[in-house]
Structures are given as structure tokens and as C-alpha cells.
């Protein structure tokens, strides 16, 4: 249960960071048959799918985004976009936000691409 609470807290920290950078949050914890997307945001003409990783240290969080997770996020993002034809034509990006206690969160824009 503590890990779940830490994960929710990390997502809130990440969302606040993105809003502070001028992003608009479109969805949080969006679920599809492929998996969950932590945050969907928009910044100008780009839709950003954000994976949030909270760990004890930022380096540990960075290594937690596996190739299998990237594929799941990409598939879920495709489902999210298919349900929102009004956003067709916008650029798409996959970011990661790393969160650890006693550290500033780290936003990694374009952490991976559609090829995984």
C-alpha cells in the first residue's frame, strides 16, 4: 500500500512540474486494454504521453522504464489517440518524469520514440 501511495504522490509531483512548465494536463492514470498511461499532456501542438517513475533514487527510477513498458505505453497512446480524432495531426512525444525523495524531479522530454 505504501508503494501505491508513493506512486500517486510521484504522479502529482510530475503533474505539478509539467503544469509549471506550461503544459496542460489532459488525462491522468488513463487505462486501456494495453495498460495505463500516467499522464497525458499537451504543449502547443504536441500531445505528450508521460511515464512517471518514482524510486528511492533518480538513477533507479531511470532504469525502471523497460523496453516492454515502452511498448505498452506506445500501444496505449495509440488507443488514446484513436479515441480522440480531434487531436489528429498533432505531434506526439513520449516523456519520462523521474521522482525520488529529497531530489528535484527530473523531466526527460522525448525519452523514447514510437519505435520503442
End-to-end CA distance of the chain: 30
How far apart are alpha carbons 82 and 65 in whole angstroms?
A: 24
Task: Reply yes or no on whether the pLDDT at 106 is more than 90.
Answer: yes
Mean pLDDT throughout 94-111?
Answer: 94
- Please give the full DSSP string across 54-67, using - where no structure is assigned: E-SSHHHHHTT--H
Asked whether the predicted pLDDT for residue 7 surpasses 60, the reply is no
Range of the domain at 108: 2-112
Residue 23 DSSP one-character state: -
32-73 pLDDT, tens digit per residue, is: 999 999 999 999 999 999 999 998 888 888 878 889 999 999
Number of compact structural domains in the chain: 1
Closest CA to 73 of 50, 97, 53, 55: 50
State the CATH number of the domain containing residue 53. 3.40.1350.10
- The pTM for the full model equals 0.90
Amino acid at each position: 500500500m505504501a508503494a501505491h501511495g508513493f506512486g500517486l504522490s510521484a504522479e502529482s509531483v510530475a503533474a505539478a512540474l509539467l503544469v509549471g512548465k506550461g503544459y496542460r494536463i489532459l488525462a491522468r492514470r488513463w487505462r486501456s486494454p494495453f495498460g495505463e498511461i500516467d499522464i497525458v499532456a499537451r504543449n502547443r501542438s504536441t500531445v505528450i504521453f508521460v511515464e512517471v517513475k518514482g524510486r528511492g533514487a533518480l538513477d533507479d527510477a531511470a532504469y525502471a522504464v523497460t523496453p516492454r513498458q515502452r511498448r505498452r505505453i506506445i500501444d496505449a497512446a495509440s488507443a488514446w489517440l484513436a479515441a480522440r480524432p480531434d487531436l489528429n495531426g498533432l505531434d506526439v512525444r513520449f516523456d519520462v518524469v523521474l521522482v525520488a525523495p529529497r531530489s528535484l524531479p527530473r523531466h526527460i522530454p522525448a525519452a523514447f520514440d514510437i519505435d520503442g
